[in-house]
């Protein structure tokens, strides 16, 4: 499989048409960066990103593990979360953003990458084993998904995604939607 512009565009269109979370994701991508920039957001807005990360698989992530991660995030002080979000710039320094975000309870590198994507959807992308597997299958990454991934792994993954985005003449959000669909059609067992 070669991640051409045409394949990325086709898979992204399928995502828009087929994936049930697309409308709410699109809404959050449109409003989340501005909400954080202006400070006009509440606890549920940031909690939504954590919940989205685990629930986007529509029940395939183990329920008990998901609940434990969500409860861990809920232990964070809201003002601390606000300070962290105000201090990160995932578009400029993704590793620094991931390192800072993982200081929060319940936030590992993949969840931190979800925050990065919702903060900077043009240039950041969420990290997950599905998306990584598609990039590996396409020859964009040369090793299996690291478990657990590090900030350096996220940088390598993000570089591969940005290369695909440049080649396909699209943003990272479009690459994410394409990778998600391509996993279902080309990689899933």
Residues 149-166 have a mean pLDDT of 96
| Average model confidence (pLDDT) across the chain | 95
The pLDDT value given to residue 145: 98
- CA nearest 111: which of 59, 64, 63, 148? 148
> What total number of domains does the chain contain?
1
Domain, as residue range, for 126:
5-187
CB burial readout 114-136, b (16+ within 10 A) else e: bbbbbbbbebbbbbbebbbbbbb
The model's confidence at residue 92, banded by pLDDT at 50, 70 and 90, is: confident
Cβ pair 84, 118 in contact under 8 A? no
Q: Taking the CA of residue 77 as centre, how many other CA atoms within 13 Å lie in the half-sphere pointing to its CB?
A: 4
Cis bond before residue 119 (omega within 30° of 0): no
Q: pLDDT band for position 147 (50/70/90)?
A: very high
pLDDT in tens, 55-89: 999 888 888 999 999 999 999 999 999 999 999 99
**CA–CA dist 23, 34 (Å, integer):** 18
pTM value?
0.95
Q: Is 96 exposed, middle or buried (0-12, 13-18, 19+ CB in 10 A)?
A: middle
Distance CA 178, CA 5 (A): 10
List phi, psi (to 5°) of 105: -60, 140
- Supply the DSSP string of 90-127, one letter for each residue: TTT-HHHHHHHHTTSTT--HHHHHHHHHHH-TTT----
Whether the CB-CB separation of 50 and 73 falls below 8 Å is answered with yes
């Amino acid at each position: 499989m070669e991640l051409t512009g045409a394949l990325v565009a086709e898979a992204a269109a399928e995502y828009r048409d087929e994936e049930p979370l697309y409308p709410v994701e699109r809404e959050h991508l449109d409003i989340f960066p501005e909400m954080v920039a202006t400070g006009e957001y509440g606890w549920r807005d940031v909690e939504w990103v954590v919940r989205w990360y685990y629930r986007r698989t529509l029940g395939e992530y183990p329920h008990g593990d998901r609940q434990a991660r969500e409860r861990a995030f809920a232990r964070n002080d809201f003002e601390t979360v606000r300070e962290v979000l105000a201090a990160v710039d995932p578009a400029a320094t993704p590793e620094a953003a991931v390192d800072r975000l993982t200081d929060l309870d319940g936030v590992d590198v993949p969840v931190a990458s979800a925050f990065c994507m919702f903060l900077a959807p043009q240039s950041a992308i969420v990290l997950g084993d599905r998306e990584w597997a598609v990039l590996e299958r396409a020859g964009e990454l040369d090793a299996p998904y690291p478990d657990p991934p590090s900030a350096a792994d996220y940088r390598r993954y993000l570089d591969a995604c940005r290369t695909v985005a440049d080649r396909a003449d699209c943003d990272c959000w479009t690459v994410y939607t394409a990778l998600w669909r391509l996993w279902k059609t080309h990689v899933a067992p």
